[in-house]
Amino acid sequence: MADHIPLHPVPRSTQRRTAYYTSVPAAQRHNRYQVEDESSHLDEMPLMMSEEGFENDESDYHTLPRARVSHRKRGLEWFICGGWKFLCASCCDWLINICRRKKELKARTVWLGCPEKCEEKYPRNAIKNQKYNFFTFIPGVLYEQFKFFLNLYFLVVSCSQFVPALKIGYLYTYWAPLGFVLAVTMVREAVDEFRRYQRDKEMNSQLYSKLTIRGKVQVKSSDIQVGDLIIVEKNQRIPSDMVFLRTSEKTGSCFIRTDQLDGETDWKLKVAVSCTQRLPALGDLFSISAYVYAQKPQLDIHSFEGTFTREDSDPTIHESLSIENTLWASTVVASGTVIGVVIYTGKETRSVMNTSNPKNKVGLLDLELNQLTKALFLALVALSIVMVTLQGFVGPWYRNLFRFLLLFSYIIPISLRVNLDMGKAAYGWMIMKDDNIPGTVVRTSTIPEELGRLVYLLTDKTGTLTQNEMIFKRLHLGTVSYGTDTMDEIQNHIVNSYSQMHSQSSGNSTSSTPSRKVQSSAPKVRKTVSSRIHEAVKAIALCHNVTPVYESHAGVTGETEYAEVDQNFSDENRTYQASSPDEVALVQWTESVGLTLVNRDLTSMQLKSPGGQILTYYILQVFPFTSESKRMGIIVRDESTGEITFYMKGADVAMSTIVQYNDWLEEECGNMAREGLRTLVVAKKSLTEEQYQDFENRYNQAKLSIHDRALKVAAVVESLEREMELLCLTGVEDQLQADVRPTLEMLRNAGIKIWMLTGDKLETATCIAKSSHLVSRTQDIHIFRPVISRGEAHLELNAFRRKHDCALVISGDSLEVCLKYYEHEFVELACQCPAVVCCRCSPTQKAHIVKLLQHHTGKRTCAIGDGGNDVSMIQAADCGIGIEGKEGKQASLAADFSITQFKHIGRLLMVHGRNSYKRSAALGQFVMHRGLIISTMQAVFSSVFYFASIPLYQGFLMVGYATIYTMFPVFSLVLDQDVKPEMALLYPELYKDLTKGRSLSFKTFLIWVLISIYQGGILMYGALLLFESEFVHVVAISFTALIFTELLMVALTIRTWHWLMVVAEFFSLGCYVASLAFLNEYFGIGRVSFGAFLDVAFITTVTFLWKVSAITVVSCLPLYILKYLKRKFSPPSYSKLTS
């Protein structure tokens, strides 16, 4: 098959492929494709793309999946359907790109402590989350507003009033509402923007110590420049990307926490540049002439290439710099004080390059209403054309057509936007005032309805689902298992075994060593539980990479200094440092059962026994943990006996083949994993002096070889890793956040699909997915094998396709490969899974996954996270939720909603999401109904009066109708709720109905249109029928009946009454009755030309009252009956629960 693969040159990826073909030996290559060929015969279920895909040129691969999705018709239809918007947007983008030509990123030479020597101008080191600046604010907000068809339409209508021939009524009837809408929007945006500015300012004004020739100076984070020497204290955020020059730690290295950058929980060890670390004092950094050469800024947070050069020494010192010499911005120093030279600032730092620009989010409900307003506009044009046609196209008919368009312009109500925007503000206020979810902040007030429409929830793991605090839970010795409640037994065993040893060694102190020798050569007896516990605990206390640190509070200079351990191993001020929190948990546990790690340096470590003796062990070799080997080992020599022991701990996959045969390990590992514990297998092997010497020689030789060094070293170590004695199995729990399990279960029952995207390791991610019940106990987990080529991805996807109802776990690299070749197919398969876990995801990858889901499914997505590495994902999602974590506020600041605990998301979606969506849908449709009913009356009026284009109601009546007479009752719909909050949380299944979008659709809209036409017709014809004698009173009668109808309709729509609603109804009625008395000149027909004024005497007559009542009853009663029948015969799902 290898021979059939044509290698067409593809401009972009030729080199990489050629390299592959040259690097893989021909036989192996042929072999590999042979395997693929065989398996392709086995594959009865090819992917949606045929096998011939392999014969295609690779350049097609990038386009295959997308081609199907984005095939659209062009031409006039395209232009009308949104092409004009696309063209405008393209032009704007082109203009913006010309204005802000991106500066090319270049490699740089940075002189230590001399920012003025920089050849280029680098960006300011300021954090900026704002959308606008001082100049772009007004144009930006106006563009965002008039992008909506609704507002653009009003702008055109209002402007038309400046043309005398088209003028209908007063200018203020059109401009006042429009001005009000814009004012409200601008104020709201300005407040949001100002808050963002304040939050950025707080971050930018954090103070740091900068080293200058004259000593230390305090400098703001935003004023840091490339070339500055910055001092960062323990637990302080690193303000910009730096090269690590020196540290207060004696070892010349320090730990940093990177969970804000990549989401990984383990601390990273960073190493200072040795040339500067060796300098005697801090000030000497200025006495040397040195510079750092750094590559150009990049996205990749896991790589860096640079050199450090000191010129004034003889010979010139060159040191190569790699990722371990860097301190990236947004990470936190975990130990000691560090000094670094700044190499990248602001926009060029790794953390900022990995975050995307915030986009303006528009809710789905707003888009749906925008579609409905377009439909209304078409109805408006049709109605106007019908009117002009019935007139018979006499005179200047096009002018009449335009006048009709303006007369009926109330079909599209301007108050729709005002009401909705005020509604959104009200929902935001309700969310923030909810005592059940304290500390919740609404940062984007325009999209509360989105919370009710979510289908996909993408969550981070570290700090969001877990607390990132490890607790030792279980020790299993094969025959006996100890849990948290039986740890005191272990403590007793340890105390006893050490006191026995102590008495033994003191009893025969003269001949202690020989007696031990005799012991070891005795025949093997079955060990007692006590001795096995002793061995296991000792192994856990020795096999690790943890360093105890003592902080003495007697620092002279006010800085925390790390005292040399003056045999003062007091427990109060001891803290442990390690690259992984698991290891710290294990060492803290051995301390709790009596065996304490008190000191460690490069060559030895000291343990304190329960009796207070200090036991010293010499460290001969350490084999660190790597993601490939999944295990770590250490060889130690006991000072008192001279015994050499090789201890090892690692993942069960790696260790099961290394330890001696046993029948319990696999089963117990499975049990612990199901409980969500992270398991480690601990084993040991005793070595004789000769065995160790032989090993050491081979090991050193392997380390010196030039070719395949890593392979040779691994082979030597593996020679030791045979037939090791299995000591125990440990289980450590990464504590989940409060109530994560019930919350995830609730969300799953609500029909929300949950994806976990994490930067952490595959094992950890799978473990948490199980313990948090993201994957239920009965479900299988399909772990997607690592793939690197197209063929492998094809086979692996086919394997996955055969599985049903199982969760998917995939790593970031494999995901990249699948998306490159089979994007459409992969997303389709993944979306059918009940849960998906992506591990080892970079921040940009997280955002990419969100966009993929939006693009392929068209459903609403929500992202939730707590770290800086989640910002891109939060900004890309339709609705971003940030958690204020221990590690800073970066995510919560960038999010649309900020919460304090993961469990609050349940109430936020089930209760507030539901209410916001339902209320806005009711409010929007009601406001449209209010406009339609008055337009129907105008149409009936005009057709009765020989199709005259004159208004039925005068300016003030129209404005009053939309505001003071009906606004409060209509707006009080934002207090309505169909289900009590307790019910919504108890039956999350109710949420599924919302995602179908049935509360606001063309169907419900048409029902409202029919109601409006029916009521408008009844009101107008009724008024004309009953008032033949006093024709002048038509306006008063019809308008009064209209107001009554509206108030009754609000009452009909409400599902749960609130006292404010009742107040609003009566207040509006009062306002109307009062205005009848004072504004009587408005109740004539047309202008005063009809000569009719209204006398108060007429309003108070019984005829007026019964006729108004009759019309109102005819217009409303049928609807009440219909509603009652519908409630009785097809009740909505929620009413079944409430009854």
What H or E segment, with its residue span, contains residue 99?
A: helix 84-99
* C-beta of residue 324 within 8 angstroms of C-beta of residue 204: no
* C-beta of residue 898 within 8 angstroms of C-beta of residue 195: no
Q: Is 460 a catalytic residue?
A: yes
How far apart, in whole angstroms, are the C-alpha atoms of residue 693 and residue 1115? 102
How far apart, in whole angstroms, are the C-alpha atoms of residue 352 and residue 746? 35
Backbone φ/ψ region at 439: left (φ over 0), alpha (ψ -120 to 50), beta:
left
How far apart, in whole angstroms, are the C-alpha atoms of residue 850 and residue 519? 64
* DSSP, residue by residue, 874-887: HHHSSEEEEE-BTT
CB atoms within 10 A of CB 1001: 14
CB atoms within 10 A of CB 483: 11
* C-beta of residue 1009 within 8 angstroms of C-beta of residue 931: no
How far apart, in whole angstroms, are the C-alpha atoms of residue 1102 and residue 333? 84
- Exposed, middle or buried, 887 (CB in 10 Å: 0-12/13-18/19+)? buried
How far apart, in whole angstroms, are the C-alpha atoms of residue 585 and residue 531? 23
How far apart, in whole angstroms, are the C-alpha atoms of residue 296 and residue 544? 37
Identify the sign of the CA torsion 717, 719, 720, 724.
positive
The CA–CA distances, whole Å, from 323 to 270, 333, 839 equal 8, 16, 21
Residues 6+ apart with CB under 8 A from 242: 230, 326, 327, 340, 341, 342, 343
The CA–CA distances, whole Å, from 321 to 243, 710, 996 equal 8, 21, 55
**Kindly report the CA angle at 1036 between 1035 and 1038, in degrees rounded to 5?**
65
DSSP letter (8 states) at residue 659: B
- Phi, psi angle pair for 1002, to nearest 5°: -65, -30
How far apart, in whole angstroms, are the C-alpha atoms of residue 303 and residue 322? 7
> Pairing between strand 835-839 and 806-811?
parallel
Counting every residue written for the chain, the total comes to 1139
DSSP letter (8 states) at residue 122: P
Token pair belonging to 1109: 């009542």
Catalytically annotated residue among 241, 259, 366, 460: 460
What H or E segment, with its residue span, contains residue 459?
A: strand 454-459
What H or E segment, with its residue span, contains residue 898?
A: strand 897-899
Residues annotated as catalytic are 460
